[in-house]
Amino acid sequence: MKVGLVMGSDSDFPIMKKALDVFKEFDVACEVLLASAHRTPAVVKDFAADARDRGLSCIIAGAGAAAHLPGVIASFTTLPVIGVPIDATSLKGMDALLAIVQMPSGMPVATMAINGAKNAALFAIQIGAANDPALAAKYKTYREDMAAQVIAKNKKLQE
Ligand code: RP5
């Protein structure tokens, strides 16, 4: 499985790195791009237009403020696009959340929580795992480990 990870500014990197960390943990290949829907639209178009031909399964796009990046990427590819609204302004990410989630009918972007880069990566893995039994098994183990941790914490709480 190979995914794309795009961010609108280097100021988004501390949040988007959480997605990269997940892909490293799951040994998933990732193309990373810094490009802006407003500042470098041609770079965004070039990246998205042949993303399927390069073997990407889906694209995660993180942006703050007037966050058009995920929607613009979605306009250039039929791959699933996962949007991560970033808290980058005095509106604390609500601006980006509303910009990303309110796509026109027929043009979906799967929108995560504000700063939800980790869940974006896990959702991308779930998409890839639909046709990859080894990745599906890894993800199942991840979920089982998470459940075991909660159960262990509860047990400790009862002591
Ligand atoms: C958006 O504007 C970026 O995605 C970033 O979240 C925000 C601020 O960008 P910088 O001014 O820090 O480059 O386009």
Question: In this predicted structure, what is the pLDDT of residue 74?
Answer: 98
Q: What's the confidence (pLDDT) of residue 21?
A: 98
Q: Backbone phi, then psi, for 55, in 5-degree steps? A: 90, 10
Do 123 and 110 contact (CB within 8 A), yes or no? Answer: yes
Domain count for the chain: 1
Residue among 11, 13, 38, 39 to mutate when testing ligand 1 (max atoms within 8 A of CB)? 11
What's the confidence (pLDDT) of residue 79? 98
Is residue 49 situated within a structural domain?
yes
* Ligand 1 near 109 CB (within 6 A): no
First to last CA, the chain: 43
Alpha carbon of 7 to ligand 1 centroid (Å): 9
In a domain? residue 153: no
CATH number (domain holding residue 89):
3.40.50.1970
Label residue 39 left, alpha or beta by phi (over 0 means left) and psi (-120 to 50 means alpha): alpha
Contact (Cβ atoms closer than 8 angstroms) between residue 67 and residue 6? no
Token representation of residue 131: 């046709």
138 lies in some domain: no
Stretches where the chain sits below pLDDT 70 are none
Report yes or no on 159 lying in a domain. no
Q: What is the pTM of this model?
A: 0.97
* pLDDT score recorded for residue 93: 98
Q: Which domain holds residue 107?
A: 2-132
* pLDDT in the model for residue 123: 98
Which amino acid is it at 50?
Answer: D
Residue 145 annotated as binding site = no
Q: Which ligand 1 atom sits closest to the C-alpha of 62? A: 4
137 occurs within a structural domain: no
In a domain, 25, yes or no: yes
Q: Is residue 154 part of a domain?
A: no
Whether 87 is in a domain gets the answer yes
